[in-house]
Amino acid sequence: MEKAKNNATLAYLLTLFIGYIFFLLRITVFRGSASGVHGVNFIPMSTIAEYLQLILHGNRIVGIYNIFGNILVFLPLGYVTALLFPKMRKSSRILLFVMAFSTTIEVSQFVFASGASDIDDVILNVLGGLIGYWSYGFIAKLFKPKKYAVYISISMIAVICLSFGAFAHHGRLLPAPGIRSAFAELRIDDTAWHLILVNKWNVIPVDYEVDLTELENGQSVDKRIYPALQEMLDSARAEGIYPVVVSGYRTAKEQHTLLDNKVSEYRSDGCSIEEAIRKAETWVAVPGTSEHQLGIAVDVNADGVHSTDDEVYRWLNHNSYKFGFILRYPPNKTKITGIINEPWHYRYVGVETASEMYNQGYCLEEHLSQLFFEANRKISVGW
Ligand SMILES: [Zn+2]
């Protein structure tokens, strides 16, 4: 009877333990949104110092979340390992075990490009494992052996829930559509006006203001991109290619009209209203999600006399980056951008960014995600 009870407790704890290992792998390696970044840090304490700086002077939540998160999430590992395997009840053994486990995760993160591999993570994880082990020792002394299993499993569940909560709170565990939440902070930076992300998942801030310059043909664009745009068009003409900006800045109302027209088009083709809207939205951005409302994107076609559209698209595709413009919706990135191939839609991001993106073959979402994860290794990638 006593034995059966012990076996049941053991089975229960083992199940919990396995579940916990899966949880650990889920939030570290198989997090669903690969950053595509192979970051590596071999210098001990450098990331920790960064986090501490961040706690003192910057984004406190991100700093705390990463330092304590890294400790907290490994706490149960030390705790339960000691509980389940009596032979492991030595600080040195727990230390080696957690170190090996954490290193494996960091290496996997590198292999799957799901985060930066950082020696500081291993340090924090080991600390967490040891604290877990020491807590086990403490609790084991407090309670009689037969009772403590209950307390232990309860506290373990609490710890897991807490760390899960910390993640969920930060939007890390939610399988976000695209990369939405990751950009929340990038968008606040108003110095990077040319990097603002607007897509299906990121709407234009309500207080966004545009200072326009009118082009000769009546279209207008943000005056900050005007010189670069003009230079690009002149350059093309000098090479015998004749592009025309057919659409620049649009108001929300104009965007609305465009969408309505597209929906009607599909309706008259016999689509149901839902189908018509769904199809129209792959062509025309919903108001608030169109870069045209920013004034820093243009649709460019050929003049129809000296050049064909294909010639213009080809020239732009290979030269626009020199003037700070990028092909915003490449055919091979439709899953990421949410927009079908638009060979005419060019977006200003500045020469430096455009060149980087051109060389790496990245779309804007990918570039920003790389930028974000590099600048904020603090967030998310740290684990
Ligand atoms: Zn466009």
pLDDT in tens, 246-280: 999 999 888 889 889 999 999 998 888 888 888 88
Q: Using DSSP bridges, classify how beta strands 345-348 and 325-327 pair: parallel, antiparallel or unpaired.
A: antiparallel
- pLDDT exceeds cutoff 50 at 216: yes
Q: How many Å lie between the centroid of ligand 1 and the Cα of residue 36?
A: 27
What are the structural domain ranges in the chain? Answer: 2-169, 180-250+290-375
- pLDDT exceeds cutoff 90 at 70: no
- pLDDT exceeds cutoff 70 at 113: no
CATH, range 180-250+290-375: 3.30.1380.10
What secondary structure letter does DSSP report for 114? B
Output the pLDDT for position 324: 97
- pLDDT exceeds cutoff 90 at 235: yes
Active site residues: 342
Q: How many Å lie between the centroid of ligand 1 and the Cα of residue 285?
A: 9
| 21 vs 354, more confident | 354
Q: How many Å lie between the centroid of ligand 1 and the Cα of residue 359?
A: 23
Distances (CA, A) of 272 to 9, 130, 260, 263, 277: 57, 61, 14, 10, 9
Output the pLDDT for position 62: 57
- pLDDT exceeds cutoff 70 at 130: yes
Residue type, 96: L
- pLDDT exceeds cutoff 60 at 369: yes
Percentage of the chain beyond pLDDT 70 is 74
The mean per-residue pLDDT over the stretch 310-329 comes to 96
Output the pLDDT for position 172: 41
**113-127, 175-189, 209-223, 295-309: the lowest-pLDDT one:** 175-189
CB atoms under 10 Å from CB of 76, counted, come to 29
Identify the band that residue 383 occupies on the pLDDT scale cut at 50, 70 and 90: very low
- pLDDT exceeds cutoff 80 at 225: yes
Q: How many Å lie between the centroid of ligand 1 and the Cα of residue 229?
A: 15
| 81 vs 156, more confident | 81
| 30 vs 33, more confident | 30
Euclidean distance between CA atoms 175 and 369, whole angstroms? 15
Q: How many Å lie between the centroid of ligand 1 and the Cα of residue 284?
A: 8
The mean per-residue pLDDT over the stretch 313-325 comes to 97
- pLDDT exceeds cutoff 70 at 107: yes
- pLDDT exceeds cutoff 90 at 317: yes
- pLDDT exceeds cutoff 90 at 316: yes
The mean per-residue pLDDT over the stretch 97-102 comes to 93
Identify the band that residue 148 occupies on the pLDDT scale cut at 50, 70 and 90: low
Percentage of the chain beyond pLDDT 90 is 34
Q: How many Å lie between the centroid of ligand 1 and the Cα of residue 298?
A: 6
Q: How many Å lie between the centroid of ligand 1 and the Cα of residue 297?
A: 7
Beta bridge partners, 245, equal: 300
Q: How many Å lie between the centroid of ligand 1 and the Cα of residue 292?
A: 6
Give 172-211 pLDDT, tens digit per residue: 433 333 333 344 444 444 457 888 888 877 788 778 889 9
Euclidean distance between CA atoms 377 and 370, whole angstroms? 10
Q: How many Å lie between the centroid of ligand 1 and the Cα of residue 219?
A: 13
pTM of the model: 0.54
